[in-house]
Amino acid sequence: MTPARCPHQTPDARPCPLAERLDVARSRCERDGERWTEPRRRTYQLLVEAGRPVKAYDLIAAYKAPGQVAPPPTVYRALEFLLARGLVHRIESRNAFVACEHPETDHAPEFLICECCGRTEELRNDLNRVVREQARARGYVVRTATVELTGLCPACRAS
């Protein structure tokens, strides 16, 4: 799962507290009466470690040791479970998945996506809430909402 790079992309400086994130995910599953199975843990771990959106087939390829591949249904079932619990989000425009940066809260994700280097950041604001309120005022029932804002990240813009 080698990240896509552009010539002026800088590494993300944010630390990846893997053990802490795995513990939050496990606790959330247990709180909901669900099992934190090895395929679910491994899939979530790979996404947290990647720190960027990852396509399902890249997860499948990275799932086990080199030369071994996880059966696609195993990874897809784990992704479905993690999506349903809000531990993972789908980046619709990239057909990829990313670990939630705020798994301790239920929320509709909003993303900033760099068109050049692919850097993706999850926003934490009320944009989805405002959109849903406006839809409700017009008589709509929103089932899903995806907000993906594309542009250039600071590093790419500066280059």
Query: pLDDT per residue over 28-43, tens digit each?
Result: 999 989 999 999 999 9
66 close to 22: Cβ distance less than 8 angstroms: no
**Domain of residue 32, residue span:** 17-103
pLDDT in tens, 11-30: 443 445 889 999 999 999 99
Domain count, the chain: 2
Binding residue ranges for Fe cation: 107
Binding residue ranges: 107, 114, 117, 153, 156
**Mean pLDDT score across all residues of the chain:** 85
Cα atoms found within 13 Å of the Cα of residue 154, Cβ hemisphere only: 4
111 and 97 co-located in one domain: no
Binding residue ranges for Zn(2+): 114, 117, 153, 156
46 close to 1: Cβ distance less than 8 angstroms: yes
Q: What is the DSSP string of 19-74?
A: HHHHHHHHHHHHHTT----HHHHHHHHHHHHH-S-B-HHHHHHHSSSTT----HHH
Q: Is residue 71 part of a domain?
A: yes
Q: Is residue 132 part of a domain?
A: yes
Q: Is residue 6 part of a domain?
A: no
Residue 7 scores a pLDDT above 70: no
96 and 120 co-located in one domain: no
Q: Which CATH number covers residue 138?
A: 3.30.1490.190
